[in-house]
Amino acid sequence: MNAVPKAPEPQLTRSVEDYLKSVFHLTNQGGFATTSDIAAMLEVAPPSVSGMMKRLSETGLIEHVPYRGVQLTPQGRRAALQMIRRHRILESYLTSKLNYDWGDVHDEAERLEHAVSEKLIERMADALGEPRYDPHGAPIPTAAGEIEETELATLADTEVGASVILREVGDEHPDRLHYLAEQGLTPGVRLTVVDRQPFNGPTIVRLNEGMTRVVGQELALLLLCRPVGSDGE
């Protein structure tokens, strides 16, 4: 008689949401997320991960291959992308509307993403004009659960002489982000690689405006770039 009211969608705990996000990020390049990588990312002990993986595969959110690792099921992926959308919309909203610094949004979003309703996220997205990238340049999944996948190279992998656009900063540590902003290294900026020191030494780049920056290996690995001319948005 009655239409079946969709799937119940079981209402996840904060902890489960965090595990799913971790698995998503760790499997983004394909393959399995390992117990110890998840443990490191969430700062818990490995047995906690084993235990949670067991529960999550029982509820069908992940596929667990013992001693190999885990992958998200379609359902788990949907949940993870929803959390990532929440996180990135929140970051965008905080920077645009409440004057947050891009280094400070991550922690706030990390707590809020577990508490906001779908409705609130969509209101925020709407108020922002449905942004496609967060303040760090990361793509925001759509409400339907699609996410743009682009191949980006790190600045550390960019060859000397190449010109690139800095598209995304793959880091969330306030200190590093503050430093990068001071240096003018924010998404959208155009960079030309002038030189690189040997033995994983720093990369020397020239910005748009002609200024020069010396970027150490550690930071250069966080700066994700696209060659100039391979079309931007």
Among 117, 144, 161, 231, the residue binding a copy of itself under the rule CB under 8 A is 117
Among 10, 31, 54, 127, the residue binding DNA under the rule CB under 7 A is 54
Q: Is 55 in the site for DNA (CB under 7 A)?
A: yes
d(CA 135, CA 162): 25
Q: What torsion do the CA atoms of 55, 61, 64, 68 make, to the nearest 10 degrees?
A: -120
Q: Is 143 in the site for a copy of itself (CB under 8 A)?
A: no
Max Cα–Cα distance, the chain, nearest Å: 72
Beta-bridged to residue 213, according to DSSP, are: 205
Structure token digits, residue 213: 């920056």
Q: Is 10 in the site for DNA (CB under 7 A)?
A: no
Among 10, 31, 51, 227, the residue binding DNA under the rule CB under 7 A is 51
191 binds, among a copy of itself, DNA, none (CB under 5 to 8 A by kind): none
Name the nearest CA neighbour of 125 among 78, 168, 85, 82. 85
Q: Considering the complex, what minimum distance in angstroms separates the CB of residue 99 from DNA?
A: 32
Q: Is 124 in the site for a copy of itself (CB under 8 A)?
A: yes
d(CA 13, CA 24): 17
Q: Considering the complex, what minimum distance in angstroms separates the CB of residue 67 from DNA?
A: 4
Structure token digits, residue 121: 């996220």
Beta-bridged to residue 139, according to DSSP, are: 133
Q: Is 49 in the site for DNA (CB under 7 A)?
A: yes
Q: Is 195 in the site for a copy of itself (CB under 8 A)?
A: no
CA 179 to chain centre: 19
Binding pattern to DNA, positions 56-75, x when CB under 7 A? Answer: --------x-xx-x------
Residue 111 to residues 17, 43, 79, 90, 223, Cα–Cα distance (Å) = 11, 16, 17, 10, 25
49 binds, among DNA, a copy of itself, none (CB under 5 to 8 A by kind): DNA
Contacts (Cβ under 8 Å, ≥6 apart) of 58 = none
Nearer to DNA, 17 or 195 (CB): 17
Q: Is 35 in the site for DNA (CB under 7 A)?
A: yes
Chain residues that interact with DNA, rule: CB under 7 A: 13-16, 34-36, 39, 42-55, 64, 66-67, 69
Contacting residues toward a copy of itself, per CB under 8 A: 94, 97-100, 107-108, 111-112, 114-117, 119-120, 123-124, 127
